[in-house]
Amino acid sequence: MSSTDLALVNGRITTLAADGTPPEVPALAVRDGRIVAAGSADAARRAVAPDADVIDLGGRRAVPGLIDAHVHFVRAGLTWNEEIRWEDVPDLGTALGRLAAAARDRPAGTWLKVVGGWHPDQFAERRAPTRDELDAIAPGHPVFVQCMYSWGMLNTRALTEVGLDRAVAEGVDPAALEVDADGRPTGVLRGMPALRWLYWQLPVPSPEEQVASTAAASRVFSAAGLTGLIDGGGSNTGPDTYRALYETWRRGELTVRTRPTMHASRPGAEAEELPGYLRYTAPGFGDGMLRVLGMGEIIHYAVHDGFHREPDLSEKSLDALRETFAAAARHGWPLQIHAIRRDTLDMVLDLWEELDREVPLAPLRWTIVHCEGLSADGVRRVADLGVGVLVPAMLRFEGDDLIEAWGPEAAGQAPPLRALLDAGVPVGGGTDAIRVASYHPFTALHWYVSGRTIGGRRIRDENNLLTREEALELYTHRAAWFSFEEDERGRLQPGMLADLTVLDRDYLTVPEDEIPAVRADLTLVGGKITWAGPAFGVPRR
């Protein structure tokens, strides 16, 4: 575009405005990256220069730019170009075909990896691949396929390369390494500690490969309709993880507004690495495309819980958490912590209420991520503290695991979305991708609206479902609250940044079961096109 002015016309634009702008308008005007008019096409054209570019939306639905407020983008970006993606695959044959194609295209001996983002229930066959199938399609390649953090599978070549006997010697619980009737490894590893050990055995891309890969992941996220994200760190990330992200940003190749949170790289490193962030990093460092947010989501590995994974709530763990919480608060750091179980949540709230008497936490926008086990009293305590809750749609993939662990009654209110919103708690949405979920935002929106798992089972109570507009709010202006940007992003009204997503079908009216298939035809960040599908060419004058 030769002009900084832009008009978007002939659309059905959902504004989510809070300034009196109508909830739906046909046109927007943009100047210098911000919306200057929202209304009729004539009003939009009058608000821009005569040589402004014009985009005809062709009657499509447009929404404020989507923000995934809990996703593991930075970690995924390091190896994005190496991995085979199964998020949108409908059957096992197609999935195996993608692995077979990679085996033909890549040199023998190259690792082939599917590191999460899929679930067997999405396949017509309702099953995962077998080791024999992986051997048959890629006998000359080590293959690793991961399903959430439940299990990972190695083919025979990969088994030989990593030597699972070393895993036990290096501290992996033998029960996490599946064996056959003769005591030989089957290639299946179960649970996060065993998978974490395996990650350490895999080849590491060069720094330049990591930058190219991060840029590629950014473009894919833009194509999914995302204009922003909050990165949750993630297992196996630490101080060295962010170099590729910073370099991608410096080169101008970051297309999604990224707000990273930071934590220790491995169990036992917290006492060394977390104080280093406080000394040498500052929240707010960066610009509109990349800005450091704070600390999270793993504050101490010992209390990183799960449906079947109990936290270590010993005095030693509590003292370590108390010290980290206090240091972060005194340095003015926003902080996010993963907490799923009721005992973990109660422990976090106890410590936060104690600290809040010394350093008010509400201005720092401290946040609990997940909250599946939050009780009614816990909702009240969260509201009283003025902290936020992020509710990524992990249960779309792991809902059956939750029912197995807690029962259907507890699952019906996990997490308590309606109660949190009714209590006025800031709530944001996200996917929790890449390893435990798909990065496609409308899979998460479908979860909030339907309460259904990827296999189609409704597990959330009717009174704990959201309307489509409420779900959209979790991905727009409510998500922007967590990075202190609710006055800049998440609404399409004059003065706000021109971040928006134009959809290939109308999210607000399509049948409910079609919501996961909604995609972006056009994505704009600050009025600049970061993704244009086949429906859009060069804007006309």
Distance in angstroms (rounded) separating the CA atoms of residues 72 and 75:
6
Amino acid letter, residue 88: D
Please state whether beta strands 24-25 and 12-14 pair in parallel, antiparallel, or not at all (unpaired): antiparallel
Average pLDDT rounded to a whole number, residues 195-200: 90
- What letter would DSSP give residue 196? H
Taking CA 245 as the corner, what is the angle to CA 244 and CA 246, rounded to the nearest 5 degrees? 95
Q: How confident is the model at residue 184 (pLDDT cuts 50, 70, 90)?
A: confident
DSSP notation for 16-41 = --SSS--SEESEEEEETTEEEEEE-H
What fold does the segment set 5-65+498-532 form as a domain?
A: Urease, subunit C; domain 1 (2.30.40)
Q: How confident is the model at residue 486 (pLDDT cuts 50, 70, 90)?
A: very high
Are 393 and 432 in contact by the 8 Å Cβ rule? The answer is: yes
Domain extent listing, the chain:
5-65+498-532, 74-201, 224-481
Are 162 and 189 in contact by the 8 Å Cβ rule? The answer is: no
pLDDT by residue (tens digit) across 294-313? 999 999 999 999 998 899 99
Percent of the chain exceeding pLDDT 70 equals 99
Distance in angstroms (rounded) separating the CA atoms of residues 444 and 391:
10
In this predicted structure, the answer to whether residue 387 has a pLDDT above a threshold of 60 is yes
Q: How confident is the model at residue 4 (pLDDT cuts 50, 70, 90)?
A: confident
pLDDT by residue (tens digit) across 231-248? 998 777 788 889 999 999
In this predicted structure, the answer to whether residue 459 has a pLDDT above a threshold of 90 is yes
Distance in angstroms (rounded) separating the CA atoms of residues 128 and 107:
25
Token representation of residue 336: 């996010």
- List alpha helices for 231-375, DSSP H: 243-250, 270-280, 315-330, 342-356
Residues in the chain: 541
DSSP notation for 337-405 = EEE-SHHHHHHHHHHHHHHHTTS-SGGGT-EEEE-TT--HHHHHHHHHHT-EEE--STHHHHHHHHHHH
224-481 matches 5-65+498-532 in CATH topology:
no
What fold does the segment set 224-481 form as a domain?
A: TIM Barrel (3.20.20)
| Helices (runs of H) and strands (runs of E) counted in the chain | 19, 23
Rounded to the nearest integer, the mean pLDDT of the chain is: 95
Average pLDDT rounded to a whole number, residues 343-358: 98
Amino acid letter, residue 72: H
Q: Is 322 left (phi over 0), alpha (psi -120 to 50) or beta?
A: alpha
pLDDT by residue (tens digit) across 319-331? 999 999 999 999 9
CA distances from 203 to 110, 151, 191, 206, 307 (A): 9, 20, 21, 9, 31
Distance in angstroms (rounded) separating the CA atoms of residues 358 and 376:
26
Distance in angstroms (rounded) separating the CA atoms of residues 163 and 146:
18
CA distances from 256 to 15, 259, 456, 490 (A): 20, 10, 31, 14
Cβ within 8 Å of residue 145, ≥6 positions away: 113, 114, 128, 129, 134, 152, 153
Return the pLDDT at 3: 53
